Structure formats: structure tokens, C-alpha cells
Amino acid sequence: MKRSKLFLAAFLLISGIFFSCEDQVTTTYTYRTMLPVFLEMSDVRARMIAVEPAQPLDNPGKIYIYKDFLFVNEPTKGIHILDNSNPSNPINLSFIPIEGNVDLAINSDILYADNYVDLLAFDISKISNIKLVKRVEDVFMHMYRHETGQIITFKDTVITTESPRWETMGWLARSDMSFTANMAAASQSYGTGGSMARFTLMDGHLYAVDETTMRVFDVQIAAEPKFVKPIDLGWGIETIFPFQKKLFIGSNRGMHIYDASTPHSPTRMAVYEHVVACDPVVVNEEHAFVTLRSGNFCVNNINELQVIDIKNPYEPKLKKAYPMLNPHGLGLAGDFLYVTEGRHGLKSFNVKDIMNIDKNQLEFLQSMKSVDLIPGPKSLIVIGPDGICQYDYSTPSKLKKLSCIQVTNPVIIS
């Protein structure tokens, strides 16, 4: 009965979108979206994972850099590995097929990746001979339908429709549901990911958040991840960012700050609340920078950058808000902030004077559709629906394009 109700709800939702009335149809739109499917996890575990030759990027989700390599998640399918020792000429090396994968993080040559409800650990010390060394079963329990033992997941689906309303249910919807890695201020043994993070590493521990829960893993022995415990966070959790033994957790209603000085048991310090909106966050010593946007599942029509005073992490306070077009991910590099504006492009700012950020905009690259980025040691890596581009940002006021990897099936974003 519950399964029938779920399918009925999904059908009604899709039907409402497909068959709503339009006064006039002038064109068609092609989108990617994720439709629900049910699987037996025992069947998934029985299938062997073997590294494959390089595959073209069809639908890249998350980016992650480790040493001279760029890892690109293909949502629900696996992970591309590229040699990025020369950002002007990244070389596609291989592909790890991982069903249900939407996340990755790397700690001391061990790649962590989700496989639906399980956490996998791969030894990547020899990039030409990657091996699965550990599977931690049944840790992402929210994907289970407990009455049947099945897991509910989502199939990547391309849809052509006459309605532009699919803009809110495609590529970005998948990004917001997924886990990823954000390794700001990490040690050399950790990699670096984008601001849409739901996975992060700090002090020998892996933290993974879903819509309601933070799961803590002990990874002090990198190849032997151990599940420690879940921590309830409340509804609407979206991202996680580590900084100076604190965890900054973005939700669609605000920002949570957790003290992680005891790594296996983080404790809440404060919650800064805002209106309901999608909410990634990055921080420095004094301020948190938060983007709020409309569209997708972000119900309020608000698009802005908020600067929050966190000098006293027990009492975060809004310092100033700046209007934006449709901001998504963001990244800090010293006094410079880079903001992805979805289909509108990529912006850069000098944020040394946080009360006058709008007066210190450096560039607005309107040709670069963008949803997230990584300020890396060699380049600024930007991902969007059309592909992945890298820029020389040694002169922050003038980004210089180094390379772009185009995808085979570009999609529309809101």
C-alpha cells in the first residue's frame, strides 16, 4: 500500500507538470531529471566494481581535486578520473563505475564514495591500479524502505517537454539531493571539493549530512572507515563546511554551527536563521558568506549574498545582505570571493571591506553558466551544465581561461 501511494504521488507530481495548461506553445525544452526507482541492495552488492577506460563526461555532478588529479562525479553512475597536472590540458584517464554514487572525498590516498546506502573505500595510491578495500554497509539509512528492505533511488532521465517548468526539477535538483566533499582548510592528506558539500573531512573524521542527519565516521585509519553515530540536525539540511574545528552546516532555513573540537561527537553552538531558501556557506576567521536563491526546491523568491559575523560563534549576526541574480555555489580565496550565478554566469568580488562588497565587484563572466567551483592551488575550477572550465586566477581582477571540458548532453538550469 505504501509503495502504491508513493508511485501515485510521483505520478501525480509529474502529471501536474506535464499536463498543466499553457496558452501558447512556441518551442520545446529538454531537461535532465531524476525519477524514482526501487532496488534490492543485495543485488547491487553482488556486482563487482572494476575500473574502466576513460569515458566522455555526459552529465557531471560534483568536482573534487586531490594532488594532481581531478575527480568528476557522474551522478548515480560513478567517478571520472583526470590527470590535471596541467590545468590547460586535463587528460581523461579512467572511470570507476559506482551505482548510486553522488559523492566523494579523499583522505590519504583513500577515496570514499557512496554506493546507495553503503560507504565504499578505494585505495588510489596507484591511480592505474585502483582497488576497493572496504565496504561499510547500511549507513545511509534514509534511502531504505524498511517494510520491504528495498532502497529508493533516482534514475537519471532526459525529458523533452513543451513546458519550461521543468527548469526547477532537473540538473540542480539532483545536485541539491546529493552528497559531495568540501575540504576547505584541510591538511595535505585531504582533497578539496566544492561548496555544495554534504561530505567533509576534519581531524581524522568524515562527516556526512542528509536532509535531517549528520553521520560521523572515524577515518583515522584511512582504509578502515568506522561508522560512529548519527546526530539529528532537524529538517532541511543541505551543506557542510569545516573551519578551525567547527562545522558550518547550511540548511534551507539557516546556518548551524557545531563545535567539532571533540571530533567523534560534535555539539551545537548556535543556529542563525533566515527565510526558507537554498543555502551553501563558506567562512573565514570572522565572517560566513551565505548564498540564498530561489528556484528548484527553494520556495521563496529571494536571491542574495548574506555576510554573517561569526566572531562569536555562539551569537552569529547578519552584517549585510547583497542582492544577486540566482546565486548557487561560492568559494573564498583570501580576500576574494567567487560566486556562481547559475545560468547568469560567474561573479568575483573583493570582500576585504564586507560593508561595500557590491562596490568591489571585479568581473561578471556571463558566458560561464556555473553552479559550483573550487579555488584550487593551480586553477579556479568551475562546473556548470555545459561542462567544467578552469581559469588562471593569479590576477583576481582578470580571470584567464585555461581549458574547458564540454559535456555530451548539456541541459537547462534555472
Q: Is residue 227 included in any domain, yes or no?
A: yes
Q: Is the pLDDT of residue 63 over 50?
A: yes
**In the chain, how many domains are there?**
1
Among all chains, which residue has been given the C-alpha cell 591511480? 127
More confident of the two residues 344 and 37:
344
In whole angstroms, give the CA distance from residue 181 to residue 64: 7
Highest mean pLDDT among 4-8, 14-18, 347-351: 347-351
More confident of the two residues 411 and 319:
319
Q: Which three cell numbers stand for residue 311?
A: 566572531
Backbone dihedral region of 245: left (phi > 0), alpha (psi from -120 to 50 degrees) or beta? Answer: left
Q: Which three cell numbers stand for residue 310?
A: 561569526
What's the one-letter identity of residue 330?
L
Q: Is the pLDDT of residue 183 over 50?
A: no
How confident is the model at residue 294, as a pLDDT? Answer: 78
What's the one-letter identity of residue 298?
C
Chain segment 218-234, per-residue pLDDT in tens: 999 999 999 999 999 99
Q: Is the pLDDT of residue 410 over 50?
A: yes
Q: Is residue 65 included in any domain, yes or no?
A: yes
User: What stretch of H or E contains 246?
Assistant: strand 246-251
Secondary structure string (H, E, C) spanning 20-76:
CCCCCCCCCEEEEEEEEEEEEHHHHHHCCCCCEECCCCCCCCCEEEECCEEEEEECC
More confident of the two residues 32 and 233:
233
Q: Is residue 414 included in any domain, yes or no?
A: no
Q: Is residue 204 included in any domain, yes or no?
A: yes
Q: Is the pLDDT of residue 192 over 70?
A: yes
Mean pLDDT for all residues in the chain: 84
How confident is the model at residue 26, as a pLDDT? Answer: 58
Among all chains, which residue has been given the C-alpha cell 548574506? 306
Percent of the chain with pLDDT over 90: 63
Q: Is residue 17 included in any domain, yes or no?
A: no
pLDDT average, residue stretch 70-83: 94
Query: Helix or strand or coil: residue 49?
Result: coil
Q: Is residue 77 included in any domain, yes or no?
A: yes
**pLDDT-derived band at 169, boundaries 50, 70, 90:** very low
Which CATH number covers residue 204? 2.130.10.10
Triad 244, 333, 378: Cα angle to 5°:
110
In whole angstroms, give the CA distance from residue 280 to residue 90: 28
Q: Is residue 257 included in any domain, yes or no?
A: yes
- Domain extent for 62: 29-406
Q: Is residue 5 included in any domain, yes or no?
A: no
How confident is the model at residue 72, as a pLDDT? Answer: 93
Q: Which three cell numbers stand for residue 170?
A: 532537473
pLDDT average, residue stretch 321-346: 96
Least confident of 92-96, 193-197, 199-203, 398-402: 193-197
